[in-house]
Each structure stands twice: as C-alpha cells, then as structure tokens.
Structure 1
C-alpha cells in the first residue's frame, strides 16, 4: 500500500540519520569519559604530591593523607622511601587509608613502575593493561616518596553504557515519532488516492454520478479534478450516444412504416406476403440495432435480479401475441415444482414468485432485470419470427448445481446447425444480431449460450448463468 511504503521510507531515512549520529555520539561520550578520567588522575596525583611535599615529618604523612586519599577519584597511593605504602590495595587486601603497610603491590606492573620512577627520579604517565598510571616522585626528609594514582579505563568505559542507553533510547524515540508523523502525513496522500481508485471502479461499473473529493495535497487535488472531468466527459458522450440512438430509431421507423403500408398495396398475394415478411425482418433488425446502440450505457451498470420474476413477467408480456397466433406456450419456473401447460393460445406459468408456494426460492443472476428481459425478449422474438403461427413455444428455468439454466425452445423446423450466432452472419432469414446480444449479455453475467434440438422438435436455446447470493 502507498501509505505503508511512505511510512517505511520515512522510517528508513530517519533511522539512517539517527544511526549516523548516535554511533559517533556514543564514541564521543566514551572518549570524553576517558579523557576526564585521565585528567582527574593527573589532578589527583599532583594534589597529593603537593601535600606530601609540604609535610616535614614523614611519620605524620598517614594522618595528613587520611582525609585526602579517601576523597580522590583515582586510586592513589604514596610509596615512602622505606617501602611502606599509604593507601591502595596490597596482596593481603585493602589497607585502611592513613595506616602504613608494607609488602609488594597487588599488581606486578605497579612494582615495576615504582622501581622505574625511583630509579629515574622523574614523573611518568602511562597505560598498562587498560589501567592509566600517573607516578610523581616527591623529595621528603628521608629520601624520595612516589605518589601513584591509577584509574581503571575499562571500568570507565563500562560506566558510559548508561549514557549510550539514553542516546539509543532517544534515537528510537525519534524513529517512532517520525513513523507516526509519516503515517499521518502519508494518509493525506493515500486516503484521497484510494478514494479516487474507488471512484474509478464505480465509474467502470456504471455509476457515472461518482465523483472524487478534491482533498489532500495540490497534486492529488489536481488528479481528482482530472478524474471528475473525465467522468463528466464520459457522461456527456453516453448522453450523446443515447440521443443519437433515439434519433436513429425515430428516423428509421418512419420510412419502414411507409414501406409496410406500400406492401399492402401489392396485388399479388405471394409477393405481398414475401415483402411483408422482409419488412418485418427489417423492423426487427432496426429494433435490435437501436437496442444494441443503447446497450453500452446499460451494460456497465451491472446489477442483479430474480430470474423467476423476470421470466414470469416476459411470459405475461408475450402472452397476448401468443394467444392471437394460436400458440401453446408453456412456462416452467423450476425443476423441483413441476410445470404447467395451457391450451392453444394460453400462456401458463408453472411457478409464480410470492404465490402459493411457501418454499419459494429466488434464482438470482448477475444481470439487471431490464437486461435479462432483453435477453428473453430476443429469444422469444426469434421463436415468433422464424416459426409459423400455432407453433408451440416453451420457456423453462431450472436451478442446477449453482447454475440458473434458461431454456427457450420451439416446435419449428430450425436446428442448431442453421443458427446465426455472430453479428453480421445470416442464416434462415436472421441477421444474428439478436443472438449476439444474448451471447454478450450472458457473458457479462459470467454465463454462456448453447443450442440443441428441442423436445418440441425445433430449436432450443440454452442460457446458463451463475446463481449468485442475495445482494444487499
């Protein structure tokens, strides 16, 4: 998602900046801590050396140094000329500050450093085994005393871990804050874009009143305006198309009506009947062309309907014509409820939705009621147009394995081999346009169209549509 990508990008950028600052800061804190420790060690050694130099009686040094050595940052000892150590640890354990003690130092390098300074009689500052030593020789009454201050640099470094933790915590806090801010800001971009995608899907599905809200950054607002202008243009084009189709219908039907009247003036009955048949075919072709021209403005709308209701409605619509032509029309509403048939010229529905059948189950398909009505009208019109009067017609609807099967058959002399299925093909006096509309409508709903020999003896057209769940 766009929002997640923007958030992750901001988090990565801020994390990179934080890392580039936190790591050097951590190293700087450690270096500064070491420098402070070294400076404090030097200061402690020099302070104690000044005190030792100012005492005339070496025997009083422990008492004088007692309060001083205990307050030092570094571990400080004073090695007297006699070898006694004042302060600091020994091999036997810590010595109480101010009490004389003897014996070698706890660390072997301390003894070596003391010996080196005593021999050279000059100050020394060095690091041995991660311990910083400052040794200052001081002249006293009975010889040379050495002030020795030591700081454990390893312990100093371990002491900065708390500062490091604070720096890392601050860095993580910055990353978290940046993620929250980026997520909020990205919503100002992603939310309008997602809404525009929804508007585009609604336009694709036929909701031409859908418009995008002009919110968000300037670029997103401009995109919304462009999408709305595109929707307006599509709506204008569809309106022009519908007006053109209506005008085409009006302009074509007028000369066809005049032609029909002229055919009635032909004296030869055979020629008159043939011309009248051709005029009727032309009239149906015009109706199909007009319906097909209007189709794009409705196909995109989608929708759903109860096929049982539409079947009953169209059977009722065609009933008067069937009665005039003496056709026996059978309507079967479902395989589970049987069928009913009427006498010649009757239109009988075997299952009426909402009637006396308590266990009525709708057969919902993914076509709008008007589109399914057009599909059935094209099939029934073909049956009426290409079969003689008094030819029986049967309409069936079955629900089988999640499929709605519509079957329209007649008792004429047609066969599956003579069907004009594609636009522009001709066979048995048909343009194929009506069946092409049927095929496309069925395909729009995810279905298919097939042909076979009818039980009545003529042609059976089978339309299979997926059964859908009830739409809210």
Structure 2
C-alpha cells in the first residue's frame, strides 16, 4: 500500500509538471523570440535617430563614431545617400533575426541578431524550468513517503491488532493515529476486543460450571458401579450363584467403570482448560492400549447388533496427546459407525510423516454428499442426531495438537491425526 500511495502521488505530480511545464516552455519560447524581434527593431529605430542627429549636426558618421552605439552581439548596416554602407559587428552566418528602420533623407539602418543567441536563451530558460521541475519532484517524493508512512504505519498496526484478536488475545490497545477514519477503525477493533473478552470469559465460566456440575454425578455413578462389582464378587463366592451371569455382570460393570473414569478425566481436563487455557495435559502414550480399550468396550454392543469391530495396521505406535481425550474421539467415531454405518467397523493405525493416524471405516452408505466436511459443524447432522458429537470430537483432537478429518465419504473413512512420540520407547 505504501508503494501505491507513493506511485499515485508521483504520477499526479508528474502529470501536473508535464502539463504546466510544456505550456510554460511554449510560452517562454514565444516570449523570448518576440522579445528578440522587438529588440532588433528598437535598436534599428534608435540608430536611425542617432545617425540623423549626427547628420543634422554635420558630424562625421563613421564606423569608429558609431561603434559605441551598437551592442556587441549584433550586426548593423548603416546606409547613407551617396556613401558606401557602414557595417558594424561580425556578419552572422545562418539564420538571423532582422530589424530595419528608415529615416528622413534616405537614411536606412538594418540590425541583425543571430538565431543561435535566441536558442541559447531558450536553452537557459529550459534548464531553469527543468531544475524547478526536478526540485518539485524531489519535494513530492519526500511528501509522498511521509504521507504514505503516516497512513501505512497505522494500517499495519491495525492489522497486527486484528491478528492478535484472531489468535485469542482480546486485549484492547487504545491506540489512536490522528486520522479520523483510522481512529474509527481502531475504536471498532477495541470495542470488538472487549466483546470477545467478555464472551471468552463467559464461555470459560460456563465450561467451569458445567465441568464442576458433571463431576458429582460421575462420582456417584462410579460408586454405584463399584458396588455392582463388589456385589458380583460376593455373589461369585456363593456356591449356588450362576458363575456365567456373575462374570457377565462383572465384565459390564468394569467396562462401565472404565468409561466413567475416562469421562471423569475429560471433565477434569475441561475444568483445567477453562481455568487456564494455556495449561496442557498432552503426554506421550501407547496408542495400542487406547485402541484396544475402545475395541473391547464396544465389542459387546457390536456383537449384539450382529456386527464386528476389528483393528489392523501398524502396532507399537506412540502418540502425543491426552489418552482420555483420544479415547473419547475414537468412541465418538465408533459410536457413529454403530448408529449410522453398516457391516464391519475397522480401526487401522499407520504412520504419516511425523504423525500417527487412526482411521475408522465401515461398510455403510457413508456421508451424504451434500454434507461433506460440514459433518464437523455443530448442529449439522444427516441422521436426525444432535450434530454435536463430531464437532466436540474435532475440538478435542485440536486441543491435543491433532486434527480429525473426513478422508473419504463412501465408504466413510474418518482419520484422527496425532503427533508421533519419538522420545518414548521404541516401536516394536
């Protein structure tokens, strides 16, 4: 922008100089030429008057007596009746400007001025005009740079302010620049920063309140599940108890207890982030354990639906993130495949550069082509669900420095990308 302002200012100045400069050159040239013609005519008339006065006074009219009356750059020819012409000055060659005057008694005077003298005068005038134009251009450059700096610097500062707002720093700067339009933009940005700060504070307070309220029922649910496990152990010790039913109760209770613990970790993480969003709990962890845990938790539900959930791909991978959050993301994908998909659900792990990838796919109809990547937007759903599951899952993935993507719509392939833990135990 600074360059554009300078270029536009210089363009205007150059156009003005060109228009007025050319006009001035034409006018000055004509003025010098007319002045030269008038000068030689005036000299001729003056010399005629001098010659006549000398003739009347019966003084001698010779080259010596008239030399002092003739300018050095002119050639003069004096003609007297009955005498040879008197010539003063060097006869010019080439073009000349001529003036002639005739007096009484047949006296005639011709004055010639070389055209080169006029051209030299025109050249000197042109040099003066060019020097003035050059000074005008230099002054215009100086003023343009100063004005561009005055306008561009505040715009750069406003852009940095907007970038800070976008990066999550809503502190107003309260800077003003002395330009009404720019000060108006600064006022709007400061007001937006204050509104964003209030909204972020309200959202963090809401997250903290919700996390705090969720911890109590989760704790109660965990205690009830532990009581079920304890009761199952006591029933298992009785000789008349159905061992298979007791084992099933214990297995379901342990799975439920693991899910509650994972949810408790997620809630605790949300509560921590709401208090200080810069605090992170990402650590290196064994990805195989999380994938295996999810398959074991969801296998009974899939078995009941007459379907299967399997895993494939590379094993022994370690990722950087929060195990509870990663498990929650995978649980969301597996649940969506159970509710909206069909056939076998496969979890495949692989390496992509410095990232580890967990792909979740099924044999169902896939994602509606009209939705595409919009399935991650809140309230967007193709199967009459709330539309929050995938949105929350993507937020959890991004909070751990990863990302959740839809790689393929049919058959559906969702991929969770996480940073690879290269400092942990070597992969097998």
For Structure 1 versus Structure 2, the TM-score category normalised by the shorter chain is 0.5 to 0.7
Go from structure 1 to structure 2 and tell me whether the alpha carbon gap of 1:198 and 1:312 turns closer, same or farther (over 3 Å shift): same
User: Structure 1: how far apart are the matches of 2:3 and 2:148?
Assistant: 8
Go from structure 1 to structure 2 and tell me whether the alpha carbon gap of 1:415 and 1:312 turns closer, same or farther (over 3 Å shift): same
What residue is the counterpart of 2:188 in the other structure?
A: 226
Find the residue that maps to 2:169 and give its secondary structure: coil
Indicate if the aligned counterparts of 1:253 and 1:283 stay in contact, CA closer than 8 A.
Answer: no
User: Structure 2: how far apart are the matches of 1:431 and 1:284?
Assistant: 22
Deviation at 1:178, TM superposition (A): 1.7
Go from structure 1 to structure 2 and tell me whether the alpha carbon gap of 1:433 and 1:67 turns closer, same or farther (over 3 Å shift): closer
Indicate if the aligned counterparts of 2:222 and 2:260 stay in contact, CA closer than 8 A.
Answer: no
Go from structure 1 to structure 2 and tell me whether the alpha carbon gap of 1:383 and 1:82 turns closer, same or farther (over 3 Å shift): closer
What residue is the counterpart of 2:67 in the other structure?
A: 66
Deviation at 1:185, TM superposition (A): 2.2
Deviation at 1:9, TM superposition (A): 3.2
What residue is the counterpart of 1:29 in the other structure?
A: 28
What residue is the counterpart of 2:300 in the other structure?
A: none
User: Structure 2: how far apart are the matches of 1:399 and 1:440?
Assistant: 21
Gaps of 5+ in 2: 233-244, 298-313, 337-346, 368-374, 421-428
User: 2:416 pairs with 463, 466, 469, which one?
Assistant: 463
Indicate if the aligned counterparts of 1:131 and 1:154 stay in contact, CA closer than 8 A.
Answer: no
Indicate if the aligned counterparts of 1:137 and 1:146 stay in contact, CA closer than 8 A.
Answer: yes
User: Structure 1: how far apart are the matches of 2:365 and 2:30?
Assistant: 96
Deviation at 1:234, TM superposition (A): 0.6
User: Structure 2: how far apart are the matches of 1:77 and 1:147?
Assistant: 6
User: Structure 2: how far apart are the matches of 1:175 and 1:150?
Assistant: 40
Go from structure 1 to structure 2 and tell me whether the alpha carbon gap of 1:442 and 1:251 turns closer, same or farther (over 3 Å shift): closer
RMSD of aligned alpha carbons: 5.7
User: Structure 2: how far apart are the matches of 1:9 and 1:426?
Assistant: 54
Go from structure 1 to structure 2 and tell me whether the alpha carbon gap of 1:284 and 1:373 turns closer, same or farther (over 3 Å shift): closer
User: Structure 1: how far apart are the matches of 2:119 and 2:282?
Assistant: 86
Find the residue that maps to 1:171 and give its secondary structure: helix
Gaps of 5+ in 1: 96-105, 108-128, 326-334, 341-349, 353-368, 387-393, 452-459, 468-472
What residue is the counterpart of 1:131 in the other structure?
A: 97
What residue is the counterpart of 1:111 in the other structure?
A: none
What residue is the counterpart of 1:170 in the other structure?
A: 132
What residue is the counterpart of 1:125 in the other structure?
A: none
Go from structure 1 to structure 2 and tell me whether the alpha carbon gap of 1:186 and 1:146 turns closer, same or farther (over 3 Å shift): same
Q: After the TM superposition, which residues 14-413 of structure 1 pair with which residues of structure 2 at under 5 Å, given as runs?
A: 14-53=13-52, 54-55=54-55, 60-69=61-70, 71-82=71-82, 84-87=84-87, 94=91, 131-139=97-105, 144-152=106-114, 155-209=117-171, 211=173, 213-258=175-220, 312-313=284-285, 376-379=326-329, 398-400=351-353, 404-407=355-358
Give CA deviations for 1:325-374 in whole Å, capped at 9, x if unaligned: 9xxxxxxxxx8xxx76xxxxxxxxx779xxxxxxxxxxxxxxxx76x767
Indicate if the aligned counterparts of 1:42 and 1:149 stay in contact, CA closer than 8 A.
Answer: yes
Go from structure 1 to structure 2 and tell me whether the alpha carbon gap of 1:227 and 1:281 turns closer, same or farther (over 3 Å shift): same
What residue is the counterpart of 2:405 in the other structure?
A: 448
Find the residue that maps to 2:176 and give its secondary structure: coil
Find the residue that maps to 1:206 and give its secondary structure: coil
User: Structure 1: how far apart are the matches of 2:269 and 2:205?
Assistant: 13
Task: Give the number of aligned pairs.
Answer: 365
Indicate if the aligned counterparts of 1:449 and 1:463 stay in contact, CA closer than 8 A.
Answer: no
User: Structure 2: how far apart are the matches of 1:246 and 1:466?
Assistant: 28
Go from structure 1 to structure 2 and tell me whether the alpha carbon gap of 1:382 and 1:9 turns closer, same or farther (over 3 Å shift): closer
Go from structure 1 to structure 2 and tell me whether the alpha carbon gap of 1:240 and 1:60 turns closer, same or farther (over 3 Å shift): closer
Indicate if the aligned counterparts of 2:75 and 2:113 stay in contact, CA closer than 8 A.
Answer: yes
TM-score, normalization: structure 1?
Answer: 0.57
User: Structure 2: how far apart are the matches of 1:51 and 1:426?
Assistant: 115
Indicate if the aligned counterparts of 2:397 and 2:403 stay in contact, CA closer than 8 A.
Answer: yes
Go from structure 1 to structure 2 and tell me whether the alpha carbon gap of 1:62 and 1:34 turns closer, same or farther (over 3 Å shift): same
Deviation at 1:462, TM superposition (A): 4.4
Deviation at 1:66, TM superposition (A): 3.4
Deviation at 1:175, TM superposition (A): 2.1
Deviation at 1:86, TM superposition (A): 1.2
More helix by share: 2
Indicate if the aligned counterparts of 1:138 and 1:147 stay in contact, CA closer than 8 A.
Answer: no
Go from structure 1 to structure 2 and tell me whether the alpha carbon gap of 1:384 and 1:13 turns closer, same or farther (over 3 Å shift): closer
User: Structure 2: how far apart are the matches of 1:243 and 1:153?
Assistant: 93
Indicate if the aligned counterparts of 2:164 and 2:170 stay in contact, CA closer than 8 A.
Answer: yes
